[in-house]
Amino acid sequence: MPNRAPDWLRQADRDFDQAMDSTHADRHEWACFAAQQAAEKAIKALHLHTGQEAWGPVIAQLLEELPETVDVPELLVEKGRVLDNFYIPSRYPNGHSTGAPFDHYGPLQSEVAIRHAREIIEFARTQMAERANR
C-alpha cells in the first residue's frame, strides 16, 4: 500500500491557504473551519507517516493517540482543543443559540485558529522530516 502521508500534508497546506484566503475575504467562520481542517489533516499525515491510521476530527485526541515515540507537547494538545471548537459551530446555525455562524466569528477568532493550525502543521512536518532522516 502506498504511503499517503505526503498527500494528507499537501492537503493540509492547501486547507491552511484557504483559511488565510477566508480571513482576507472577511469570512472568519470559514477561516476557523479551514484552519481546523488543516491541523486535522496534518496530524493524520503524521499518523500515516508513523505507520498507523487515525479517524475522526478531534485534533486533541489525534495528537494524544500518536505513538509514544512522538513527543507531543501538552500545550499543542491544548491548541488542538481550541481548534476542535471550530469543527461544527463555525458551519451550522444550530451550533450557537442564536444567529448564523458568521455572526460569531471575527478577526480575533480566525487569527487564533490560524496561529494554532500553523503550529500544529509545522509540528507534523518537522516530525515527519525527522523520521524520514532516521
Q: For each of the domains in the chain, give its residue range(s) and CATH number, in order of start.
A: 5-132 (1.20.120.330)
Rounded Cα–Cα distance for residues 76 and 74 (Å): 5
Taking the model in full, what pTM does it have?
A: 0.96
- On the question of pLDDT at 2 being above 80, the answer is no
- pLDDT grade for 83, boundaries at 50, 70 and 90: very high
User: Per residue in 6-54, pLDDT tens?
Assistant: 999 999 999 999 999 999 999 999 999 999 999 999 999 999 999 999 9
Residue 89 is classified by DSSP as T
Alpha helix ranges (H) inside the chain: 5-24, 28-49, 59-64, 74-84, 107-132
Count of positions (residues) in the chain: 134
Q: Find where cell 475575504 sits.
A: 25
Q: What distance in Å separates the CA atoms of residue 29 and residue 24, rounded to the nearest whole number?
A: 12
Whether residue 90 contacts residue 8, with contact meaning beta carbons closer than 8 Å, is answered with no
What would the mean pLDDT of 110-124 be, rounded to a whole number? Answer: 98
For residue 27, the 8-state DSSP code is -
